[in-house]
Structure 1
Amino acid sequence: MGGFDSYASVNNAMLTSYSKEGFLCEAKRLVHKMGLGGRDEVSWNSMIVVCGQHREGSEALALLCEMVRMRLEVDMFTMASVLTAFTSLKDLAGGCSFMLR
């Protein structure tokens, strides 16, 4: 990409594009390539959405736990994305208990 792939915003746009096209493996590969230091909150949120959209709810929840562990900002967008992940798991009780925390 001519050096532009070092910018989180460019990677986040690519991540969104991969998700929309259904390329889950490529999205995961990109996030892995970004590394922990190259991801921002948007990157984490985007990957949670990707996992939820592709019925990888457990992985989305694992990403949320990692965000919390790293003390990244968990905002309302993150919370909505996690609820989407619960729907992909068909776990209404889990989603309700999550919201009551």
Structure 2
Amino acid sequence: MGGFDSYTSVNNAMVTSYNKEGFLCEAKRLFHEMGLGGRDGVSRNSMIVVCGKHREVSEALTLFCEMVMMGLEVDMFTMASVLTAFTSLKDLAGGCSFMLR
């Protein structure tokens, strides 16, 4: 990526771009290559959206739980992204259960 791959914001934009194009494997690969030190709340939010689009609710929930445990900001966008992941499976009970936590 021309040396820009060390910038978290560039990587976040690439994850989002891969998602828009439907490239799940590439988005996951880049997210994992970022490593724990290179990921921020935006990185995790982006991957939650990717997981929701590709019906990987358990992975979206894992990312959400990591955010909470790490003390990263969980905002309305995060919550909406996790709930959207549940709607991709039409899992109303799971979404309600998540909201009651």
Q: TM-score, normalised by structure 2?
A: 0.94
Unaligned 5+ segments in structure 1 are: none
Aligned match of 1:35: 35
Once residues 88 and 58 of structure 2 are traced to their aligned partners in structure 1, the CA distance between those partners, rounded to angstroms, is 9
Aligned match of 2:11: 11
Q: CA RMSD in A?
A: 1.0
Instruction: Could you list the structure 1 runs, at least 4 aligned residues long, displaced by more than 4 angstroms after superposition.
Output: none
Aligned match of 2:44: 44
1:98 CA displacement: 1.9
Question: Aligned residues: percent identity?
Answer: 87
1:89 CA displacement: 2.9
- Number of aligned residue pairs: 101
Aligned match of 1:94: 94
Q: Judge which range, 14-23 or 87-96, deviates more.
A: 87-96
1:90 CA displacement: 2.3
1:97 CA displacement: 2.5
Once residues 76 and 21 of structure 1 are traced to their aligned partners in structure 2, the CA distance between those partners, rounded to angstroms, is 25
